[in-house]
Amino acid sequence: MTLDFLKTETASGVILASAALLALLLANSPWADSYFAFIRHEIPIQIGAFHEVKPVDRWIKDGLMAIFFFVVGLEIKHEILRGELSSPRRLALPVLAAIGGIVTPSAVYLLINAGSAGSPQGWPTPVATDIAFALAALAVAGPRLPASLRIFLLTLAIADDLGAVALIAILFTSDVNLYALGGAAASIGLMALMSQWKSAPYLFYAACFALAWAFCLKSGVNTSLAGVAAAMTVPIEPRKPGHEGPLKHFMESLHPYVAYLILPLFAFAAAGFSFAGLSLSTLLSPIPLGVALGLFLGKQLGVFGFSALAIWLKLARRPTGAKWLELYGVSLLCGIGFTMSLFIGGLAFDPHDGLAQTQVRVGVITGSILSTLAGMAVLAYAQRLRGDEV
């Protein structure tokens, strides 16, 4: 399953990049008005007593991305119970590296935004690593490097996602409707009860998840939490000997839709911004500078620094067969924060503050591009050195 996951993520990274590039081109073309009219077009959804009106980009963020977080939750649960996160010896290095990759970028951002002109509320923006982009860059730059590097990067990114979800839960929940939150909790509880019913139709899980999502949307709590919480209730054990369990079924069934449809749609809606009116002073203001340097400098320093310290203290070991230069190259790729950074950055600032939202996008894209180019260059050089040794 891990190899299939890696192939899907690698291909998804190429599609994500294409969607983001298309959004930027359209936003700065003669069709810019049509692009912005599309992502801001309001769509009403009414099912019984449920009624919501949101623009397209908000439906993608609050609706479709909940499915993305459901799959992320399934992957986290699988890794904790059966995968890399289930072994303390294998777990130490990527988890400590992930902690460094959260703490250090946040510190870099806060340092740049410490003055009166700064915006410290954006500090969570550069903490996440985009699994799809990072794995795609690793596959292109170092296809013959040790497989242990790919597993290290995948495990680190999953631990990173867990930290990002926790930050979303703590920082971006306000004005909670307790009745709606109770309804969401009851729906998740019903899913947990269904896990004891081995022959429960998968349609029941889908219905309960939709109910939990709807209540969560009304409660004021970010819908990403409904996705992760629902995933934790899905049983991993197979219903019959020799068959796949519900968790694996949902993961394998939903992952292609998430990788090839939902994430590219999110990238298309979130990455587009107009260059009109942007000046050098705007680009070098605290928000974009803090996000870009948090991703490019903070991530590599945090991931590589914490990894080196853990290895030096004998708390962990280097990935099997990997060299220090290769580990540094992977640390650079961890600064590709595209999907989750755009998601968190959009939450950290007022959605009606167009300038701040644009600056977040500029910072995320700049930091991610720098991390991609530097990481791929280091890994390509490291692979060439391996070839010279043969």
Q: CATH no. for residue 149? A: 1.20.1530.10
For residue 10, the model assigns a pLDDT of: 60
Q: Which domain holds residue 82?
A: 2-172+222-389
Q: Which range (30-34, 60-64, 76-80, 87-91) has the least confidence?
A: 87-91
143 assigned to some structural domain:
yes
Q: Per the structure block, which two tokens stand in for 302?
A: 């945090």
195 assigned to some structural domain:
no
Of 294, 249, 234, the residue nearest 81 (C-alpha): 234
Q: Output the CA–CA distances (angstroms, integers) from residue 70 to 21, 50, 117, 224, 325, in the order listed.
A: 27, 22, 38, 8, 35
Q: Which of 136-150, 211-225, 329-343 is predicted most confidently?
A: 329-343
216 assigned to some structural domain:
no
* Residues 149-179 pLDDT 10s: 887 887 888 788 778 878 877 787 666 788 8
For residue 226, the model assigns a pLDDT of: 86
292 assigned to some structural domain:
yes
pTM for the predicted model, two decimal places: 0.77
194 assigned to some structural domain:
no
Q: In total, how many domains does the chain have?
A: 1
Q: What percent of the chain has pLDDT over 70?
A: 94
144 assigned to some structural domain:
yes
Is the pLDDT at 8 greater than 60? The verdict is no
For residue 46, the model assigns a pLDDT of: 84
Alpha-carbon span 261 to 275, nearest angstrom: 27
* Residues 99-120 pLDDT 10s: 999 999 999 999 999 877 788 9
Alpha-carbon span 149 to 31, nearest angstrom: 42
Is the pLDDT at 85 greater than 90? The verdict is no
350 assigned to some structural domain:
yes
Confidence at 11, pLDDT banded by 50, 70, 90? low
331 assigned to some structural domain:
yes
